[in-house]
A and B are shown apart, each in its own frame.
Chain A
Amino acid sequence: MSEVRAEPPQAQWPLYEVFVRGKRGLNHVHVGSLHAADDQMALRHARDVYTRRNEGVSIWVVRSADITASSPDEKDPLFAPSGDKVYRHPTFYDIPADVPHM
């Protein structure tokens, strides 16, 4: 928002990554991300946003900031500028082509 607020950053909820088990027997697969104020809200949002066509039997959510990620070229200092945002990448995990509804 352009107006000045007492504590403007508070209005932005943190980013969460969402993983859905499409059906029993499958792994949880990364499906996308969303914003929520806390873990419980993230679960409810995930249910509403990512399984509204009944695409899942189980949902995991995790704060994007809590993900530790590898990088193929971690040593390379040139990666630092974008590498520091890796935890914000909702799509760090490839979705196999054969997963339904993804």
Chain B
Amino acid sequence: MNQTHDANPAHEAGSVYDGLLAGEADGHWAFGTSFEDPLAGVDTTVPEGVDPGDLAGYCLMLGDDALVLSHRLTEWCSNAPDLEEDVALANIALDLLGQARLLLARAAAADPAVVPALPDGSPVPPEDALAFFRDEPHFRNVRLVEAPTGDFAATVTRLFLCACWRLALLERLATSRDQVLAAVAAKGVTEVTYHRDYAARWLVTLAQGTEESRRRTSTALASLWPAVDELFGSHGVEPRMAAAGAGVDPATVRADVDAVVDQVLAAAGLERPQVPAMSGVRDRTGRDGLHTEAFGHLLAEMQAVARAHPMGMW
């Protein structure tokens, strides 16, 4: 093979093959793919006074939210209203996937007991074991992120609600006593601020666009709204993490989130839907591993290849 070292693709065929066999990673070529060890360089010691099991559980909650929402957004790929939107939705999905990787890796590092057991010698890294080998009751994401994707109105509405809420959490987490959570949150704040902006603008645009877009947007809002209440429920882990200075109790961000949501709904000319909140089962909701029917299908698809090859290297 031609071994020239001309990096300029404008020159001639052959140069682009340089380094192909070397297999070295070029880390900076796309969002969300720039790390081999997601936690390289960050102090991973669990801070004093923080229970490792709580830390792991908390990271799974935030990580699973990001993982599942990212998965739903990924379903848009090649299906978006125009190419620009295809690219934008993929960027957001990649941001969230990046956050999920960091958080799942953190969960595994904090408490290896949360990682499902795999056959001896399996090369599957802990973040992947968590994503692809956990059963449904062990996923701790809120139910809002798992609802089927729906149309573009449902997608931007859900993204808007999730981004407002997640941004409020991440802003506070940036001062977490856990170095990893603080670093993930600091990076995530910039990303999720953009997601919120993207979704809010689309929400207003669709609500104020045509009759059809307005109808679709109100329908989407009404169908997603019952799952909003769950975002602000305090699960046992969250108040304990908050008390230890490492996490955020979601109940404490409700007023701030409500204010932002109301402002955007007002700009969109939309009312808060008057619909009852979706209850759990014996008070168990997504954070407790109690999910919607749609979620099982999502997991079956997402985990199919990985589970067929527990000794596989990817």
Interface residues of A (CB under 8 A from B): 13, 34-37, 40-41, 44-45, 48-49, 52-54
Contacts and interface: CB of A to CB of B under 8 A. Distances in A.
A35 B31 contact: no
B295 interface: no
Contacts of B205: 37, 41
Given A13-B82, A53-B28, A40 B87 contact: no
Contact of A44 (B28, B30, B82, B88): B88
A53 B30 contact: yes
A41 B91 CA distance: 15
A48 B82 contact: no
A49 B80 CA distance: 14
Interface string B78-101: 000010100110010000000000
A35 B84 contact: yes
A37 B208 CA distance: 13
Contacts of A13: 82
Given A52-B31, A53-B28, A53-B30, A44 B201 contact: yes
A52 B91 contact: yes
Contacts of A34: 84
Nearest to B210: A10
Contacts of A35: 82, 84
Contact of B201 (A40, A49, A52, A53): A40
A1 to B, nearest CB: 12
A12 to B, nearest CB: 10
Interface string B102-140: 000000000000000000000000000000000000000
A13 B198 CA distance: 18
Main secondary structure of the interface of A (DSSP, over half): mixed
Of A34, A35, A48, most buried by chain B (CB within 10 Å of CB) is A48
A36 B84 contact: yes
Contacts of A48: 84, 87-88, 91
Nearest to A7: B210
A88 to B, nearest CB: 17
Of A13, A35, A41, A54, most buried by chain B (CB within 10 Å of CB) is A41
A2 to B, nearest CB: 17
Contacts of B28: 53-54
Nearest to B85: A45
A45 B91 contact: no
Nearest to A49: B87
Contacts of B198: 44
Contacts of A54: 28
B29 interface: yes
Contacts of A45: 84, 87-88
Of B84, B88, B197, B201, most buried by chain A (CB within 10 Å of CB) is B84
A5 to B, nearest CB: 11
A40 B29 CA distance: 26
Contacts of B30: 52-53
Interface in B205-249: 205
Of B87, B197, B205, most buried by chain A (CB within 10 Å of CB) is B87
B217 to A, nearest CB: 16
B201 A41 contact: yes
Contact of A53 (B29, B82, B87, B88): B29
